[in-house]
Amino acid sequence: MEREEIVREVYETVMKELNLQRCDGICLGCEECIVQNPQGTQAIIDAGASRISSSLGIFPTNKEIAKFIDHTLLKANVTESDIRKLCSEAKEYHFASVCVNPYWVPLCHELLENTDVKIATVIGFPLGATPEEIKVFEAKQALQNGADEFDMVINIGALKSDNLKYVFEDTKSVVDAVAPNTVKVIIETALLTDEEKVEACTIAKEAGAHFVKTSTGFSSGGATVDDVRLMKAVVDGDLQIKASGGIHDYETALEMIKAGATRIGASAGIAIVKG
C-alpha cells in the first residue's frame, strides 16, 4: 500500500472516531456529556443530581491548573530581570516549568535549583528549518546547562515537501541526544493540513518523543480545540499533548485540557491561574 493511502486510511479512521464523539443529541454511551452536551448536563443537575459520571474525569480548578502550565517567555527582547521575575512567579505558583530560549537556561537553572519547577527550552525555534546537526548541538548544550525538557520544532518545509524520512531522522536525533529527558515535538498546526498533522504526530510517536505540541506561538495561528482532539486521536496512549499559542485565560486552557491536552504553554500563566 502506498504511503499516501496509509495516511489517508489513518486520517479517515481518526476523523470517524472524532465524528462519533459529536453526539448531536444521540447518546452513544461515551460518558462525555459534560463536554459534548453541557445543556443536557445542566438540566440533569437542575433536576437534582449531585454528581455526574464522565470518562473525562475531574478537571482542575484555576489554582490546580498551574501544574499543567509551562510558564513561557520566548520573545526576543526579554531581559534578565524578566527571566528573574518569570522564575519567581513559577516558584510561587508551582508551574510545571518555565519555557525559555536556550541563552537563559543557565540562569533559570541557578534560580530554580531544588524547586519543583522544571526548565524547558526550545530547539530549532521558531521555524524548525535549522539542520539536524545544529538542533542536536543546541539540545546537548541546553542539557549541559541544566534544561530538563526540550520543545523542538519539526522541519515543516521537509514535511510539506514529503521528505518524511528526514523529518523522522531530524526528530529522533534530538530525542536520542537528550534521552531520557522529555522532548515535545512542535508541529505548527496552523501551517499543516489535517493529513499532514496526522503524519507529523505519527512521526513524533515513531521517533520516541514524549509530547506533540500544537504551535510555537510565532506563526499564523495557535492552538485550537479541534487540533488537540485530532492529535489526541492519533497519539492517545502513546504521547501526551501540549497546547500552545493564543491561550490567555482559564476558560480557554480548560477547553484544551478537556480536548486532551496535558500541558499548556502560555505566557499568561498568572492570568490563567487567577481565573
In this structure, what CATH number is given to the domain that contains residue 219?
3.20.20.70
| 58 located within any domain | no
In the residue annotation, 118 being an active-site residue is answered as no
- Expressed as residue numbers, the domain containing 7 is 3-46
Catalytic pick from 172, 184, 213, 258?
A: 213
Task: Give residue 53's pLDDT.
Answer: 42
In the residue annotation, 236 being an active-site residue is answered as no
Instruction: List the one residue out of 146, 199, 188 whose CA is nearest residue 8.
Output: 199
- Looking at the structure, tell me whether residues 33 and 103 fall in a common domain: no
Catalytic pick from 197, 232, 242, 258?
A: 242
Task: Give residue 27's pLDDT.
Answer: 46
pLDDT along the chain (275 residues), means of 10: 61 67 46 51 50 55 91 98 98 97 98 97 98 98 98 98 97 98 98 97 98 97 97 94 97 96 97 92
- Looking at the structure, tell me whether residues 41 and 79 fall in a common domain: no
| 241 located within any domain | yes
Task: Give residue 220's pLDDT.
Answer: 95
| 52 located within any domain | no
| 54 located within any domain | no
Helices 225-235, 194-206: inter-axial angle, 10-degree rounding: 40
In whole angstroms, how far apart are CA 200 and each of 162, 185, 203? Answer: 11, 9, 5
- Looking at the structure, tell me whether residues 90 and 164 fall in a common domain: yes
Instruction: List the one residue out of 144, 120, 146 whose CA is nearest residue 210.
Output: 120
- Looking at the structure, tell me whether residues 25 and 100 fall in a common domain: no
End-to-end CA distance of the chain: 50
- Looking at the structure, tell me whether residues 35 and 159 fall in a common domain: no
Looking at the DSSP assignment, which residues form a beta bridge with residue 150? 121, 183
- Looking at the structure, tell me whether residues 154 and 242 fall in a common domain: yes
| 51 located within any domain | no
- Looking at the structure, tell me whether residues 76 and 205 fall in a common domain: yes
Cell of 107: 540562569
In the residue annotation, 213 being an active-site residue is answered as yes
Task: Give residue 37's pLDDT.
Answer: 53
Catalytic pick from 148, 151, 170, 227?
A: 151
- Looking at the structure, tell me whether residues 36 and 71 fall in a common domain: no
**Residue 166 CA neighbour count, 13 Å, CB half:** 16
- Looking at the structure, tell me whether residues 238 and 210 fall in a common domain: yes
Peptide bond into 126 cis (omega under 30): yes
Tell me the pTM.
Answer: 0.83
Task: Give residue 59's pLDDT.
Answer: 81
